[in-house]
Structures are given as structure tokens and as C-alpha cells.
Amino acid sequence: MQQYIDKAVEQFRDLITEQLARQNRMEKDNFVKDFKNAEKIVIGVCGGDGIGPIISDAAQKVLEYMLADEIEKGRVEMRIIDGLTIENRLACGKAIPDDVLAELKACDVILKGPTTTPKGGTMESANVAMRRELDLYANVRPVSVPELGIDWIFYRENTEGEYVLGSRGVEIPGKLAMDFKVTTTCGTKRIARAAFEYAKQNGKNNVAIVTKANIMKKTDGKFSELCHEVAADYPDITAEDWYIDIMTANLINENNRSKFQVFVLPNLYGDIITDEAAQIQGGVGTAGSANIGDRYAMFEAIHGSAPRMIERGDGAYANPSSMLKAAEMLLRHIGFADRADKLAAAMKVCLETEKKLVITGRKTGASCIDFAKYVMETLEAL
């Protein structure tokens, strides 16, 4: 038994040393990518697996249509990045194979399809690995249901919490297992700053800080404390503490959910609650997600790779709406807000107003690529 304890202590020492080094790197790093003045923007399209390549291809075609003039003059380049399939990752024994990671780092922004994470074992999620390797610290997920008075945006810390060391816990066979949660000063302050800055720039006056600080006193307590330190720089914005359990109830409470505007929260809570919020909007298939860092950004659907659809032969009928929403967020991020607005308007026509084609996820509905063509035809008409 003592040998397991000694090994766990040694491993924990290594993890603390590693995370302190990461905190120190964040303190020194002050580079921020300026897309407005960039001579060239490289967009990588990484299909992933399951339905990922299908819906990514649809979104790629829409992006190429909308950026045709910029691609023609060489300011925007689209690159296809293969190799992030579950088969290739298992064969390499890595969440992201080295050659794929090198290709990703050669891009400025990435449009990424869903990826499968094996249950059990030690293989890390490709998403978690990508967020860490590219330091994509802000997961940004908007949810809007105007008829219900809902206009939310979630700023989820993306590189810390339970996920950063999620595959590196310790275990004493037959006795216990422990995983670890990480909250750093720099990591928390930068996600808080992103949330409050968004609120300031978009006329919002309330930021909900969502934790379980009454129980997780060291990590969540630190997260809340640091968010309030940042909030002091934004005196016109009210910062309110909420516990994650009551907030999940508040999102479905019709009497008070419309008062919420901007949320900032740690990694795990953000992962869970944004799926709940997307379900209120119409399902996880309707929501896109931005993963933002200072150098890189990655845009994706919030749902998984849907292997069952592939197994039953319905992959071609997958709904690309989430990836098209991600493409809209990508356009906005690289400085084409007017084109992003146009895509959002076209999606509203296709999904809510006109609805010439309906995606059902089966052969009874429109195919993924036909829906993408419908969106492009709508864009042409706008």
C-alpha cells in the first residue's frame, strides 16, 4: 500500500510543478493576434470523426462562398487538416497526433468537427488537448430565444478546472481513485476579463459568477474572489455570485431567467450548463461554440460525433446548423462582422421563417449538403 501512496505523492508533486510553470508562462505572455491588420488569415478545417467530416464539409462550403473574394486575392486561405479521427488517434496513442498538431499550429483559426473520446483508459479528449496546446482559454457560447426573453452568453474557462488533469489522477487499486482540479490566478483573471469586457462593449450590466464556492472553497472560492477583483474595474456592471446547482434551476425558471445576461464560470460547470441552455434554445444541434485564445481560435459544434447516426447509415442527413453557427462566430472573430450578420439572417430564414428544407437526422429529411446549398441560395437572395 505504501508504494502506491509514495507514487501518488511523487505524481502530485510533478503536477503542481507543471501547473506552476504554466501559471508563470501566462504571466509573461502578452501577445494578442490582430486580425484587423493581418496580411493573411489561415483557416484550418479539421473534420474529426463520426458526423464531423460531413457537417464540417457543409460549413466549409458556406465559408468559401462567403469569403470567395478574400480567398481569390490571397488574404484568406482554407486548409483541410485530416488525421483527427478516433482511429488515427488510437493508432498514435495520442489525443492529437504530432503531425496534426503541427498543422493546427500553422493556422490562425480552426473550424473543427466533433471528435470521439474513448471511455476509460488514459487517452485524453482531443478537445481538451487542443484547448491546452493552443491555449484556447475562453469557451464562448451564445444562446438566444427572443420570444422567451433569453439573450445569454456564457464565458466558460476552458483550460483549467477538472479537465486540465482529467486523465492524470491517481488510483490505489481496490481502494480509491482521485482526480484533481486546478484554478490559477492568471487563468481565472483572463476569463473574467473577457466576460466583463464583452459586457462593457455590448451594453450589458450584469455578470453572473457561477461556482460551488461554498463547498469547493480553495478552487471555486479563488475563482469567485478573482472575478470580483476584475469586476472592480467595471463599476457600471453588477457582479453576482450564484451556485451552479441553483443556476441550473434558474435557467428553466420562466419567472427570472430573462434577467441573466453574461455568465462566467469554471470549466466543468460551463460544459454542463451550456448544454442545458442550448436545449432551451432548441437542442445542442442548434448551438455553436467559440474557443478563443490570444494567438489561436477554434470554432465547433457543441454536440458530439453521433456514431449511432453513422452506424445506421444516416450520417449524410446530419444537421449542420451547429457548424454553421460556429462558422458565423468564426467570421465575426476574424473581422467580417457584416458577413457574420448576413449568415445569421440566412440561417433564421432557413430554420424559422421559410423552412423549405427540414433536417430530421434521417432519410425522411433533407441531407446535410442540400441544407448547406439552401443556406447559400438564401445568402444570394439577401
Residues 111-121 pLDDT 10s = 999 998 877 67
Query: Tens digits of per-residue pLDDT, 321-379?
Result: 999 999 999 999 999 999 999 999 999 999 989 999 999 999 999 999 999 999 999 99
With contact defined as beta carbons under 8 Å apart, do 238 and 207 qualify?
yes
In the chain, the percentage of residues whose pLDDT exceeds 70 is 99
State the Cα–Cα distance between residues 162 and 183, nearest whole angstrom. 9
State the Cα–Cα distance between residues 172 and 234, nearest whole angstrom. 47
In terms of Cα–Cα distance, which of 40, 51, 45 is closest to 318? 51
Beta-carbon contacts of residue 88 (< 8 Å; ≥ 6 apart): 97, 100
The three cell numbers of residue 34 are: 490582430
Residue-level pLDDT at 119: 75
Query: Tens digits of per-residue pLDDT, 76-115?
Result: 999 999 999 989 999 999 999 999 999 999 999 999 999 9
Residue-level pLDDT at 254: 93
The CATH number corresponding to 32-136+293-382 among 3.20.20.370, 3.40.718.10, 3.40.50.300, 3.40.50.2300 equals 3.40.718.10
The three cell numbers of residue 69 are: 473574394
Q: How far is CA 114 from CA 23, 132, 159, 162, 236, in A?
A: 29, 17, 18, 21, 39
> Following DSSP, what letter does each residue of 129-169 receive, concatenated?
HHHHHTT--EEEEEEEEGGGTEEEEEEEE-SSBTTTTTT--
State the Cα–Cα distance between residues 262 and 277, nearest whole angstrom. 13
> With DSSP H G I counted as helix, E B as strand and the rest as coil, what are the percentages for the chain, rounded to 5?
50, 15, 35
The three cell numbers of residue 306 are: 453521433
Residue 329, amino acid: M
Q: Is 193 helix (H, G, I), strand (E, B) or coil?
A: helix
71: enclosing H helix or E strand: helix 68-72
pLDDT greater than 80 at residue 287: no
With 0-12 / 13-18 / 19 or more C-beta atoms within 10 angstroms meaning exposed / middle / buried, residue 74 is exposed
